Structure 1
Amino acid sequence: MYSFKNDYSEGAHPQILNALIETNLVQEDGYGEDQYSLQAAKLLREKMNDDEVAIHFLTGGTQANLTAIAAFLRPHEAAVAAATGHINVHETGAIEATGHKVLAVPSGKDGKLTPTGIQSLLDAHPDEHMVKPKLVYISDTTENGAVYTKKELEALNAFCKNRHLYLYLDGARLGSALTSPANDLQLSDLPKLVDAFYVGGTKNGALIGEALVICNDALKDDFRFIMKQRGAMLAKGRLTGIQFLVLFRDNLFFDLAAHANAMALKLSNAIQEAGYAFLTPPVSNQIFPILPHSLLDTLHQQFHFFDWEKIDHEHSAARLVTSWATKEEAIDAFIASLKEKVTR
């Protein structure tokens, strides 16, 4: 059965595998100081039009989040996230395990944070008898597949600066966000709008790897010490460096993300034509159609995917995720199964 559970079921793009094989016996320095990691960091700075950002390669999203947040916060400070945010729901208390509380803010179905929502939380933490909110965590795309507009990010940036908060962006699916038809942000906008973010490779064609970008000078010092202490410094750092060099040398990163989005768009168009609504507007490679339980049962016999949220006694929202490797035949097969059930 074909899986629409996630965008990391496959291994890696062939260009990455070939590059790893071709460089396999080249001896290199370790811990991210190899030529490939240095070249990849330089290339990313060029793509961002910013020579001052610090770039560190880590192996996974949870590792990037906990290492960054632990480094950026003092012991009494906390992170603020949407109630649906990854660090609040899907990281097994990793942030709390570093000694920092995650403060959850209710958000709409899109999973976005707003200045108004954050302010309500700040108002509830007025003094030293409670943890001090210091870092605002967002993700693009959100857990529910939505993307932040430039205007929304500018508003969050201005709010956080005014309240002396750090703004941190989880970019596990940043490729999908930046190539979404609903997006008006450029990669080069992010260093101006957030204090730190990461570019996700794991969910966009890499075997492993995220590129953490630290934009705020106040957060850069001694970060490699924190990486080492948290077990985030890979001895064979070349493995992540080579992958990001391949992903960004000829814009492969954006091509793969655009393909994932195109497959999701084709799927969502067919679902809409069949008369079904969505939990959130389908604008990225994660889509959430609301389907009858009888139809979900039928589709589960042929495809793997998650039932995301129960809507009522007869309907639930499913999560369907397309990837850089999703073949159009798989989309066509899902659409054919959908139409067959609908027309019966």
Structure 2
Amino acid sequence: MYSFKNDYSEGAHPRILNALFESNLVQEDGYGEDRFTLEAKELIKQKLSNSNVDIHLLSGGTQTNLTAISAFLRPHEAAISVSTGHIFTHETGAIEATGHKIISVEGENGKLTVEHVKKVLESHPDEHMVKPKLVYISNSTEIGTIYQKEELIQLRQLCDEEKLILFMDGARLGSALCSSECDLKLSDLPSLLDAFYIGGTKNGALLGEALVICNDALKEDFRFHMKQKGALLAKGRLLGIQFRELFKDDLYFDLAIHANSMAEKLRDEISKAGFSFLTHSPSNQVFPIFPNAFIEKLQQKYAFHLWEKIDNDSSAIRLVTSWATKEDEVLAFIEDVKKGF
């Protein structure tokens, strides 16, 4: 059985494993003070074309979200998220456990707009309610959609006017930036966001996310917050080595391009076979709508998530491709869809 469940079913790209092996007996300082981590941070800054950002390496997306958001907010402040946002649906109340409410809105195609944020602000006018302070977005979103540059510019302008923090979850940032429909570059992000992270776990690393703090007001004492949340790893080198390998050339982007190209094959051929989709998702997540009986047949050969019931006879499933997805398996899936095996 071949899995299209997620983009972290495999281990890591061989270059990363080789780099970890070759450096295994090299002695280095701990807690991210090693030369591998320092080199990785400089490489990322070069890719960002910005030397003024602070970069911190953490182990996973949920840990990054809860550490960053709880550090950025005061006790009475809250985050705004779409109802499909990862911090609202898939993190076991991690943000709330730090004492901060998440205000959810339905959003539009998995995205927040200026109008959504304005409505939240209007409905939280005074000190009898939590104060909306942080705008949480994901790129790509939980349903595979992506933000365009103009959308981020509009959110940035509103956040500046209302003194809000704009924070981007970048667990699948590589896929978003490498989408054929994306007009953003990695180097655009520091001027548009207060903070964001570059996901490694879902793009070829064993584990790891690179948090980029752009707003100077959010930088102070962040390592204290990391230590308190268990995010300051003694063997921080393990993260540094991986991100150094991903960013010393274009490996990070090459892996995302492969994941996207596999997803594009699935989208194109499933569409040609006459099926529709839950959403237009130009990234590495695909949400086709199939008859329930056909889904049961596909489950005999493939693993994937049942995403949403459409009606009594059909449902949307989620197919996720990765840096390691085999083209032969994609073609086999397509053939099974075509023949309705």
- TM-score tier after normalising by the smaller chain length: over 0.9
Q: Structure 2 stretches of 5 or more lacking a match?
A: none
**Alignment-derived partner of residue 227 in structure 1:** 226
Mapped contact 1:265–1:282 kept (Cα < 8 A)? no
**Aligned partners of 2:309, 2:149: CA distance in 1, in Å?**
32
**Aligned partners of 2:164, 2:82: CA distance in 1, in Å?**
15
SS at 1:329's partner residue?
helix
**Aligned partners of 1:151, 1:163: CA distance in 2, in Å?**
18
Matched, 1:243 2:246: no
AA partner of residue 163 (structure 2): H
How far off is 1:231 after superposition? Answer: 0.4
**Aligned partners of 2:29, 2:170: CA distance in 1, in Å?**
28
**Aligned partners of 1:123, 1:311: CA distance in 2, in Å?**
33
How far off is 1:282 after superposition? Answer: 3.1
AA partner of residue 261 (structure 1): N
**Aligned partners of 1:223, 1:105: CA distance in 2, in Å?**
29
**Aligned partners of 1:83, 1:233: CA distance in 2, in Å?**
30
**Alignment-derived partner of residue 301 in structure 1:** 300
Matched, 1:86 2:86: yes
Within a 5 Å distance, the mapping from 1:161-176 to structure 2 comes to 161-176=160-175
How far off is 1:315 after superposition? Answer: 1.2
Matched, 1:106 2:109: no
Report how many residues are paired.
Answer: 341
**Alignment-derived partner of residue 191 in structure 1:** 190
**Alignment-derived partner of residue 328 in structure 2:** 329
SS at 1:316's partner residue?
strand
SS at 1:55's partner residue?
strand
**Aligned partners of 2:250, 2:94: CA distance in 1, in Å?**
32
**Aligned partners of 1:20, 1:40: CA distance in 2, in Å?**
14
AA partner of residue 66 (structure 2): L
AA partner of residue 73 (structure 1): L
**Alignment-derived partner of residue 97 in structure 1:** 97
Q: 1:252-282: CA deviations, max 9, x gaps?
A: 0000000000000001111000001111113
Mapped contact 2:111–2:147 kept (Cα < 8 A)? yes
Mapped contact 1:257–1:323 kept (Cα < 8 A)? yes
Q: 1:128-184: CA deviations, max 9, x gaps?
A: 011000000000000000000000011111111111100000000000000001100
**Alignment-derived partner of residue 212 in structure 1:** 211
Structure 1 vs Structure 2 CA RMSD: 0.7
AA partner of residue 337 (structure 1): D
Mapped contact 2:143–2:281 kept (Cα < 8 A)? no
**Aligned partners of 2:196, 2:282: CA distance in 1, in Å?**
21
How far off is 1:336 after superposition? Answer: 1.2
SS at 2:141's partner residue?
coil
**Aligned partners of 1:274, 1:340: CA distance in 2, in Å?**
9
Mapped contact 2:140–2:170 kept (Cα < 8 A)? yes
**Aligned partners of 2:280, 2:105: CA distance in 1, in Å?**
21
TM-score normalised per structure 2: 0.99
SS at 1:19's partner residue?
helix
Mapped contact 2:146–2:281 kept (Cα < 8 A)? no
How far off is 1:248 after superposition? Answer: 0.7
Q: Structure 1 stretches of 5 or more lacking a match?
A: none
AA partner of residue 310 (structure 1): K
SS at 1:64's partner residue?
helix
SS at 2:52's partner residue?
coil
